[in-house]
Amino acid sequence: MKSAVIVFPGTNREQDAATALEAASGEKTIMVWHRDTEIPAVDLIVVPGGFSYGDYLRAGAMAAHSPILKTVVERARKGTPVLGICNGFQILTETGLLPGVLMRNAGLKFVCRNVHMKVETAQSLFTAGYEAGQVISVPVAHNDGNYFADETTLDRLEGNGQVAFRYVAPSGACEPESNPNGSARAIAGVFNETKTVLGLMPHPENAIDPLHGGIDGRPLFTGLVEALS
Amino acid sequence: MKARIHITLKAGVLDPQGKAIEHALTGLGFAGVSDVRQGKYLEIDLKETDPVRAKTQLDDMCKKLLANTVIENYSIEVAP
């Protein structure tokens, strides 16, 4: 599986994403700078975490209108899988590739800790390495992760099976205390309609080595490699 | 031509920052404060001199970049 990682000024998890991709695929990841307009032929494009353009105006808003994102959107519309993690998720919602928006955390604090989330479906390129209903532990690190969409959109997402991950307690129960940022319906990650684009706030790339404190993020990458190789 | 743009959260969208400001104002002894909503204010200088064309251009700017219309409303004023 060949993959490209998009890098903006202020991105800070691009090496983590590349490390996770390379560990799973054994292939070198291509880093693409935001001023580039071309992305080489790849099986997967990753928009990684960080604070692109300093989160000016709104998190992800400036990056969403950078030249390279035009290419990402074109590729995504032609079917190339795209994964947006954290700031990458914010960017993908700002481009309209994914529905909804990530608002300021309800508690107004930057949240940096491990959370539990439930895999809502295993029927996607991104979640094929998990089982539906599986509870995994991964870290979050964000200030704007409060997922919001109007009720009609949320109902549509649930109806289409576009909710990928939900914040839960370790038992798998959906409790208010297990939602770290106030996200609507405890949503941690969503797919586009064709399930070829995934955005999520938690960082699976930071849970791939026992030294990270867990390896629950690894199946996301190994599952992708299996599906796309 | 000078333009002023106000961006505010739509009614029904929770505004935790507005709530925190409200609590702080109440804490400072300002009585009777409620429904504080925070937003953004932008000033833009435009070469355009026709107010109608300027407004069209600004409307496009708001839709494309300045506001996220999923959660935000915007209002535009222009002055020579």
Q: Note the pLDDT tens digit of each residue in B36-69.
A: 999 999 999 999 999 999 999 999 999 999 999 9
Return the residue in B65, B69, B72, B74 with the most chain A beta carbons within 10 A, the one to mutate for interface testing. B65
* DSSP-assigned letter for residue B53: H
B8: its two tokens: 């505010």
A38 is annotated as an active-site residue:
no
Q: Which of A34, A86, A94, A120 is catalytic?
A: A86
Give the residue among A157, A132, A139, A158 at the shortest CA–CA distance from A223: A132
> What pLDDT is recorded for position B35?
94
Is some CB atom of chain A closer than 8 A to the CB atom of B11? Answer: no
- Contact at CB, A149 and B65, closer than 8 angstroms: no
- Rounded to 5 degrees, φ, ψ at A130 are -115, 175
User: How many residues does the structure list for chain B?
Assistant: 80
Give the integer Cα–Cα distance in Å for B63 and B27. 37
How far, in Å, are A10, A138, A139, A159 from residue A168 at the CA level?
Answer: 30, 12, 13, 20
Using a CB-CB cut-off of 8 Å, the residues of chain B touching A94 are: 68
Give the integer Cα–Cα distance in Å for A147 and B58.
28
Residue A13: the pLDDT is 97
**Contact at CB, A101 and B68, closer than 8 angstroms:** yes
Q: Is the pLDDT of residue B77 over 90?
A: yes
Is A108–B20 a contact, with Cβ atoms under 8 angstroms apart? yes
User: Which pLDDT value is given to residue A37?
Assistant: 85
Active site residue A116: no
ipTM of the complex: 0.86
| B80, pLDDT greater than 90 | no
Mean pLDDT, contiguous 10-residue spans, chain A (229 residues): 97 98 98 94 98 95 94 97 98 98 95 98 97 98 97 97 98 95 98 98 98 97 96
| Interface with A, mutate which of B21, B62, B68 (most A CBs under 10 A) | B68
| Closest partner CB to B71 (pick from A61, A101, A108) | A101
Please list every residue in chain A whose beta carbon sits closer than 8 Å to the beta carbon of residue B7: none
B56/A contact by beta carbon, under 8 A: no
CB contact under 8 A, A65 and B65: yes
Contacts of B30 (CB under 8 A, 6+ apart): none
- In this complex, the residue of A57, A58, A104 whose CB is nearest that of residue B17 is A104
A62 closest CA partner among B27, B65, B7 = B65
State the best of A103, A181, A183, A185 to mutate against chain B, taking most chain B CBs within 10 Å.
Answer: A103
* pTM, 2 dp: 0.95
pLDDT at A164: 98
Active site residue A174: no
Q: Which residue of B has its CA nearest to A149?
A: B70
- Higher-pLDDT residue of B14 and A99 is A99
Nearest CA in chain A to B68: A94
CB contact (8 A) between residue B68 and residue A94: yes
In Å, how far is A65's CA from the nearest CA of chain B?
Answer: 8
Q: Are A89 and A98 in contact (CB under 8 A)?
A: yes
Confidence at B26, pLDDT banded by 50, 70, 90 = very high
- Can you name the residues that pair with A46 across neighbouring β-strands? A5, A83
Nearest to B71 among A105, A106, A148 (CB): A148
